Every structure is written in structure tokens, then in C-alpha cells.
Amino acid sequence: MIEEYLFRAILASLMVGTLLGLLSPLINVKGIAFLTHATFHALLFGAVLGMILGLMVGNLSLIFWISLIVAIVVVMVIAEMEIRGYSSDTAVGATAGLVAGLTVLGFGILYKVMASKPYFGLSESIVTYLTGEIFLITLNDLWMLVLGGVIAFAIMLAFYRDFIYLSFDPEGLESHGGNVRLYLMILYFLVGAIGGLIVKTVGLITLQVLAVLPGAIALTLSKDLRGLIGLSLGITLLTQVSSVILGYLLDVPPSGLATVFLGTLYGALMVRRKLA
């Protein structure tokens, strides 16, 4: 009989794979892979800030909410900077640099707070946010992931075609009455919100890989938009589920397996293209 924690991990991996499988093509066709770097820093800063406040008030659930809010705020600031004429690299670089500095300062404060507090669970540690621990996901975590994931999934489906037009021809979209500012804000909101939802399951390190490489691999192999989305979904779901099962059997972190698999696959495709 399947272990309950493994069953929860598989369900979580299905939701994560679906969300990132749909989001990754958008990140690639829009050319905002660098945005995941800013999301990384925002989520880490939010986790540190949430842990400081959580330890002070005795409520570690604040970690999730504050990291989610900080991530969304940071990506929305970047979107606003782009709308005001700054390049994507400039907006991300400036914002990520500021947030990275605040994160370092936050760690200094966190160490002092932790020194005066008792031990707290591994599932709420900073290490979990860096590497992910899908086997430690609780039933409440799973419900939050599913409910938030369904909302994010519905928003993506509702605006997916607009996001594609935004990526290829924003001027044409605007000339046909499309609200470029609104679509950009929604797309960036989704990047921050989905990152905040799934970070405890895959970890910040693997999140950057899962958000970018499935779509990049699918772009290399597909010939049309439908094939791009289908391949990205298939690759992400297969990677997530198989890494959870292998992680369980081999007693190794699933997030590490997923990162190695995707990196190896993408590298092999690039070598094949160069040799062709």
C-alpha cells in the first residue's frame, strides 16, 4: 500500500507540473527567464522576513504568506518599471540587487532571533525553501497548493492567447484594443504567485530550472504553439512525477533529480543541434 506522504507528494507534483508546464512556454516566448532570478531573491527574502516575524509572534505560518506577498510585490514592481520604459534586464537587475541586499541583512537579524528561540520544525526552515522537501508537505499545504493552483490555472487559461500575442507583437495587440499593461501585470503576477505557491515543494534552486527549461526544450523540439504547450506540459509532469518516485526509491531529494534530468536533456539537445 502506498505511503500517505508519498501519495501527497505525487499529488503535489501533478499540480506543480501542470502549473509550470503551462507557465514555462510563456516565460520563454516572452524572453523573461531572468525574471525567475528576481523571483528567487524575492521568495528567499520573504521567507527570511516571514521567519523573523513568525518566530517573534509564534506563528510560523507567516513564512508562506509573507514570501508569497513579497514575491508578488517584487514582480509587479518589475512589471511597472518595464511599462515605464525600462528594459526587462534593467528592471530585474536593479530590483533583484536591492532585494538580495535586504536578504543578507535579513539573515543577520534572523540569526539573532533564532538564538533566543527554541528549535522549530525542519518543514519551516530556510533549507526547505532552498532545496524543497515535497515529502514533508502536509495536508494543509496540499490543500493550499491545489486551491491556489486551480485559481492560477484558470487565470492562465483565460489569458493565455493574450499572453502569446503580448510576447510576439505588443504593439499590434495594443492597436487592436488589447490592454498591454493589464496583460503584462497579470503575467508577472502569475510568475510571482505560482513561485510562492510551489516553492516549498520544489525549492528555490529547482524552481528556476523548472520554470525555464521545459519551455526551452519544447521550443527546440516543437513546430507549432500547440506542440510547444503539449511538450512543455508532458516534460514537466514526467519530470516531477518520476523524480518523486525515484527520490522515494533511492532516498534522495526529488528536486535534485529533476534539476539534473532537465539540465542533461537540454544540454544534450544543444550538443545535437551544434553537431547537426
Lowest mean pLDDT among 131-140, 154-163, 192-201, 233-242: 131-140
pLDDT in the model for residue 243: 95
User: What percent of the chain stands above pLDDT 70?
Assistant: 97
pLDDT band of 123, cuts 50, 70, 90:
very low
- Please, which residues have CB within 8 angstroms of residue 147's CB and are 6 or more apart in sequence? none
Q: What is the mean pLDDT of residues 109-126?
A: 70
Tens of pLDDT, residue by residue over 160-183, are: 999 998 888 888 878 878 888 999
Helices (H) and strands (E) in the chain, counts: 11, 0
Q: Quick check: 212 and 95 in contact, CB under 8 A? A: no
Q: Which fold has domain 4-275?
A: ABC transporter involved in vitamin B12 uptake, BtuC (1.10.3470)
Grid cell, residue 222, equals 516543437
Given this model, what pLDDT does residue 185 score?
A: 95
Q: What is the DSSP string of 160-219?
A: HHHHHHHHH-HHHHHHTT--HHHHHHHHHHHHHHHHHHHHHHH-HHHHHHHHHHHHHHHH
List the grid coordinates of 275: 553537431
- Please tell me the predicted confidence (pLDDT) of residue 122: 44
- pLDDT, mean of residues 147-167: 94
Backbone angles phi, psi at 85, to 5 degrees: 110, -5
